Structure 1
Amino acid sequence: MSTPQLDLWDAYLEAENHGLRSERTDALERFLDSFAELTQTGKHDWALTLASSIVDDGASTPIRMPLFRSVLLPALESAIAHRTPGAARWLAGFAQHIYKCSDLRPRLVDGTLAEHALLETALDHDPDDDHSRRKLLDLLVSRLNYTLHELPSGVLYGHDGASVDQCREMLEELDDFTRHADRLGLVGDYANLVAKCRFHYNTYSQYLTDRRGASCYADYLSQVSDA
């Protein structure tokens, strides 16, 4: 990025640190206007460097929505389309920004911009990307724990009780989780969680198929444990 844009970027960061909201907004608008004059390659490369510094290196650079929409999102989507290693992981790092964009909601619903899907895309583009694998594993741990947090009432899928097909789907996801954990040498760390999930996904599916006169899943579990 050339000197004029760098100066405006520094001025924006200074406004973020010390300025009023109006000063911050004006500084960002001036930067974005100047940024738009750069070559496509210049914009693309700078945006990817910024995204990487934030997601991978933990830089505390403030990313306001206009900056995300005008600078980061176009560059990251272009990089993903060209299978650039890391690009999908960087976009996943801005999941909260994506959720706030109403026009992107359909792509959240169909899964293409969901954090989980973006991390899987990152691994598809680079199977050796263990940074993305670790982030995906952490995300899956949260999902697995969530499915069990209403026990002994039942296994959850989203906000509702899981169906037989959904239990089967979660078992497949559990196999994916185990594969990723094994790649990272972390299978032992999650052995109890995996065993608990596998037991309840299978048992809850059986309960839905044949309740054996049980009044609820907790009652069914007591029958299983007594058998």
Structure 2
Amino acid sequence: MNIEHYQNFQDCLKKGLKKQASKYVSLFVDSFESEDEIESWVWGYLPCLETNNHSCIRHELFNNLVYPVLRKGYEANDYRSTLWLGKLVQNICQTKGVFEDLGFLGEMDFYRKCYDIDPSNTEGNELLVNSILTWLSYCEHEWPSAILYGMDGADIEQCKDIRDEANFAVYLSKNKSDKEFVMQFLGKLDQYEKRLNKKSCGAPIRSV
């Protein structure tokens, strides 16, 4: 590994020299001589990584160095690797073939797996709660018209899935305001489920 290429890459980025930056990052990637060397650099690099406006690290670094290490660890149920896949989900979504390679999993899925591996890890639990709360915020953003599940209004079975995640967030969260948000969301979910049940029974539905 030639660390000077990486330093030159960073210097060019700071100066706005995009073409030269691309040259040096490619040279840096090509300078590694073994998988062990790549793994050592990745775990030293990740804690201080720099991201762009899309919360992504440089694609050459992710594709050629970071992702292979995280993928290997993920397959071995390594907590640290799984956690970082959640943190780098924007890279996953923007890299052709990687989202599919990981089974179409999203941020919340990776953090939930982290909980399954080690339910006592505070960082992972906090990230999981935040991810669930973000999802719930999306689910309610067309209220009172609907509670969303994906792009459409949730059906009765999907409401159960949403409720399970909401209750799990309450269980995990240590923050009073988070719990209060979830409880008000569950109140909306109750109303929405009642509307769905009336509709399934053929009763007329009044707008909320």
Normalising by the smaller structure, the TM-score range is 0.7 to 0.9
Once residues 99 and 191 of structure 1 are traced to their aligned partners in structure 2, the CA distance between those partners, rounded to angstroms, is 30
> Secondary structure, in 3 states, of the residue corresponding to 1:134?
helix
The reply on whether 1:77 has 2:65 as its aligned counterpart is no
> Secondary structure, in 3 states, of the residue corresponding to 1:210?
helix
The superposition leaves residues 154-186 of structure 1 with CA deviations (integer Å, 9 ceiling, x where unpaired) of 2111221110111111111112111211xxx22
Which of 200, 204, 211 is 2:192 aligned to? Answer: 204
TM, length-normalised to structure 1:
0.80
Indicate the residue corresponding to 2:47 in structure 1. 52
Contact 2:92 2:98 in 1 (8 A): yes
Contact 1:111 1:117 in 2 (8 A): no
Residues 66, 171 of structure 1: alpha-carbon distance in 2 compared, 3 angstrom cutoff: same
TM, length-normalised to structure 2:
0.87
Equivalent position amino acid for 2:44 in 1? T
Once residues 26 and 73 of structure 2 are traced to their aligned partners in structure 1, the CA distance between those partners, rounded to angstroms, is 25
The superposition leaves residues 132-159 of structure 1 with CA deviations (integer Å, 9 ceiling, x where unpaired) of 2111211211111221222221211122
How far off its partner does 1:100 sit? 0.9
Contact 1:119 1:132 in 2 (8 A): yes
How far off its partner does 1:19 sit? 5.2
> Secondary structure, in 3 states, of the residue corresponding to 1:102?
coil
> Secondary structure, in 3 states, of the residue corresponding to 2:97?
helix
RMSD (CA atoms): 2.1
Equivalent position amino acid for 1:85 in 2? Y
How far off its partner does 1:91 sit? 1.9
Equivalent position amino acid for 1:199 in 2? G
The reply on whether 1:103 has 2:103 as its aligned counterpart is no
Which of 130, 133, 154 is 1:138 aligned to? Answer: 130
Contact 2:82 2:111 in 1 (8 A): yes
Once residues 7 and 119 of structure 2 are traced to their aligned partners in structure 1, the CA distance between those partners, rounded to angstroms, is 37
Contact 2:93 2:99 in 1 (8 A): yes
The residue correspondences of 1:144-155 to structure 2 (distance < 5 A) are 144-155=136-147
Indicate the residue corresponding to 2:8 in structure 1. 11
Percent identity at matched positions? 21
Paired positions, count: 202
Instruction: Report the structure number with the largest CA radius of gyration.
Output: 1
> Secondary structure, in 3 states, of the residue corresponding to 2:161?
helix
Q: For structure 2, which runs of at least 5 residues remain unmatched after alignment?
A: none
Residues 7, 203 of structure 1: alpha-carbon distance in 2 compared, 3 angstrom cutoff: same
